Amino acid sequence: MFEYLRFPVKLAFALVSALMIGFYFNLEMPRWAVMTAGIVAGGSAFSAGGDPYAGALRLRGILRIAGTFLGSGAALLLIIIFARTPSLLLLTACIWAGFCVWLSTLVRVENTSGMATASYTALTVLVTVYASHNLTLAPVYAIERCSEIVLGIFCALFADVIFSPKSIKQVAEREAEALITLQCQMMALAAEPAEQKIFDKKMNEVIRRSAALKSILVNLKNEAGHHELASRRLAALHSRSLTLLTLSLDVFLTRKMNAGDSAVRRRGAFPADPGDADSSLRYLRDFRFALATVPADTRLLSQAEWSRSAGEYFLLLRRFKANPRLADGEEKMLSGVNPVQERSLESHSARVNGLRTFIATGTAALFWLYSGWTSGTSCMILLGVVTALAMRSPNPIAVAKDFVYGMTVAAPISFLLYTIVIPSTQQSMVLLCIMLGLVALISGIFLQRRQLGTMGAFAGILNAVTIENPMVFNIHTFTDNVLGQIVGSLMAFAVILLIPDRSRARTTHKIMNTFIYSIITAVNPANRRAPKSHLPALYQHLSLLQALHPGDMDKLRMSLALIAGHSRLVSSELPRHPALEASYRELRRSAEDVKHAESSQKRQEKLGAFLTQLKSYQQSLNMAGTSQEVSQDLGRLVTLTETYHLAFVTS
């Protein structure tokens, strides 16, 4: 019961403290502090489906503070430049909002809050200044908005500290234990090997849990300073998990392609799959014993590497749970191989999101300038908030729909509060705090359940009641606010529907091209420098591909085959030979042709030419005297690509 009520109480405390501190410091509009506290705490809970973890809340709070100062600074700069042309000032504000949304789509999901806040903060300051018809007060408005927003963020963070912050450390321990059990089960299926469908099901679960471990790592890094060493160990665990996944896949593919004479000798040699973390450790011991007893011709190098990586995983897991000081030799395990920085492949989707934001806010600004609509201020501000929050979400239409439903529900509730409840509390600050606390408590219960329209209704109520210092009950101002909210949410929803995001095909091609280029990088004889791990970036792209094409097993199998091929080839020794380098240049040129192919038919033709060139490169490797294992790895990659080439061509 306490766990269920902890977040509603925390939300009520954040809003009430923001209100009281705002009145104590005589802020002109404490509602911005109250709204910010509600959006920071409530938005995190709505996304998480419950009480958010401390790391996620603090990261978003810090990013929103930085975004607030960035947006206020941008607003002041635009006012200085375009003070003599108010219409151009509003237009540049819309351009700034579109730019921030475009940039927020390109950065990591956990870092989008900063640019989203910078987007609607600048729009809020500029719209408020324009509505006041007094540009000389721009610095005052900017400082006030900054103070109110930062106050709201600090109140949300302080409430999280007071009411037992929810740590993710124990969740990380359970997830890491479950993941090594799944990894051992996956190797047990790969060593026999099992049927393709059974292995695919287990592989999908491991990929999903590895991605979950990465999101846990992000929260743990931002939770507290004393978790720094634990975060490094968890990052090493995530890296080992991806390595184990890739090695199991490599074993499975090799066994499937070499099935035949050695299958009978191999059957029953390896232990059965474990059921928990303790049995997984016993499985590793039995696996090492079985690996030493099987015939040499059935023993794979990937199995030996898997055994070593699994041992390191268990050692890191034990030290992650105990959290002792750094031991001798552990630094090498934690540093390991530096991961390659991930590049965003959603550039076209980012342009669409930026265009949506600019068109939505620009249309509202032009209508406001032309008609002098009194609800224009509220409409513009809400458009900035909705577009900034919706565009980076996995389903922007669902977020916009939530605000449409929420603003519709918020209208009668806020009318009741504004006309009856709040006027009755004007003689007592305690009654006003009780009223706001009850609203936050009820909203927090529904936010945890992710009820459709809850987040929009919560934000709409806080914005419509216009808590000011001193309170002025103007029914026309209230009506303008409510009408502007409803129209703004409808406009955002309409723009998202009218400008669909058709970037799925382009993003898919970029992802598949990235996998192809990972092979090109791995077989470059002149690129044998200090190793860098491409696995985190490649699996991040794979997660995006699965989100774009859920259930497409051919695309998944081909992508994983390319990832496994890259992992094997990148660590192989390739000789420096003039003929080999010339063949590599031809191979790279054919990969460029695949990248720039415009239609599916052209891509199929260029992919066929690429496979032909890959076979030619394999022959050049044999002539240059490379090892038989490298040639077999390349041949297996060609066979798998020929099998699933249609998955590469289709979008």
Tens of pLDDT, residue by residue over 455-509, are 888 888 888 887 776 777 788 888 888 999 999 999 999 999 999 888 888 888 8
Backbone φ, ψ for residue 85 (5° rounding): -130, 85
With 90 as the cut, is the pLDDT of residue 99 above it?
yes
pLDDT band, very low/low/confident/very high, at 633 (cuts 50, 70, 90): confident
Q: Give percent above pLDDT 70 in the chain.
A: 93
Residue percentage of the chain with pLDDT more than 90: 15
Mean pLDDT comparison of 93-97, 218-222, 287-291, 456-460, highest-scoring range: 93-97
Residues 447 and 316 in one domain: no
Q: pLDDT band for position 17 (50/70/90)?
A: very high
Cβ distance 274 to 181 under 8 Å?
yes
Domain shared by 474 and 622, yes or no: no
What pLDDT is recorded for position 166? 67
Residues 211 and 146 in one domain: no
For residues 292 and 200, state if they share a domain: yes
* End position of a domain, from candidates 498, 526, 548: 498
Q: What pLDDT digit, counting tens, does each position of 43-57 carry? A: 777 666 666 676 677
* Residue where a domain stops, chosen among 498, 521, 542: 498
| 630/546 same-domain check | yes
Stretch among 86-100, 136-150, 520-534 having the lowest mean pLDDT: 520-534
pLDDT at 127: 87
Same domain, 176 and 324: yes
Within 10 A of 533 (CB to CB), how many other CB atoms are there? 17
Q: How many domains does the chain have?
A: 3
Mean pLDDT for the stretch of residues 418-427: 81
* H or E, element range at 603: helix 600-623
Contacts of 398 (CB under 8 A, 6+ apart): none
pLDDT at 445: 86
Q: Given pLDDT bands bounded at 50, 70 and 90, which one contains residue 574?
A: confident
Residue 97 has pLDDT above 90, yes or no: yes
- pLDDT for the residue 263: 45
**What residue type is assigned to position 145 of the chain?**
R
| H/E run at residue 338 | strand 338-339
Q: What is the mean pLDDT of residues 534-554?
A: 87
- Average pLDDT, stretch 288-297? 78
Alpha helices for 25-53 (secondary structure H): 31-48
pLDDT at position 74: 92
| Cβ atoms within 10 Å, residue 551 | 8
DSSP secondary-structure letter at 395? Answer: -
Same domain, residue pair 549 and 627: yes
**Of 287, 304, 338, which residue sits at a domain end?**
338
- Do 64 and 81 sit in the same domain of this protein? yes
Rounded to the nearest integer, the mean pLDDT of the chain is 83
Question: H or E segment at 69?
Answer: helix 54-81
Pick the closest to residue 558 from 444, 461, 646 (CA basis): 646
> Same domain for 206 and 266?
yes
Q: How far apart are CA 69 and CA 128, in angstroms?
A: 16
What range defines the domain where residue 24 resides? 2-166+347-498
Cis peptide before 193 (omega within 30 of 0): yes
Q: Whole-angstrom Cα distance, residue 46 to residue 63? A: 18
pLDDT band at 299 (very low <50, low <70, confident <90, very high): confident
Q: Do 447 and 521 have their domain in common?
A: no
Residues 6+ away with beta carbon under 8 Å from 212: 175
Q: Do 186 and 94 reside in the same domain of the chain?
A: no
Q: For 363-415, how does the pLDDT look when each residue is reduced to its tens digit (9 = 90+)?
A: 999 988 888 888 888 898 888 888 888 887 878 888 889 899 999 999 999 99
pLDDT higher at 129 or 243: 243
* Burial of 449 from C-beta contacts in 10 A (0-12 / 13-18 / 19+): exposed
Q: Please compute the mean of the pLDDT values over residues 353-361 and round it to a whole number.
A: 92
Q: How far, in Å, CA of 640 to CA of 562, rounded?
A: 9
Whether 318 and 370 share a structural domain: no
Report the Cα–Cα distance between both ends of the chain, in Å, rounded: 48
Q: pTM for the full model?
A: 0.85
Q: What is the pLDDT of residue 265?
A: 41
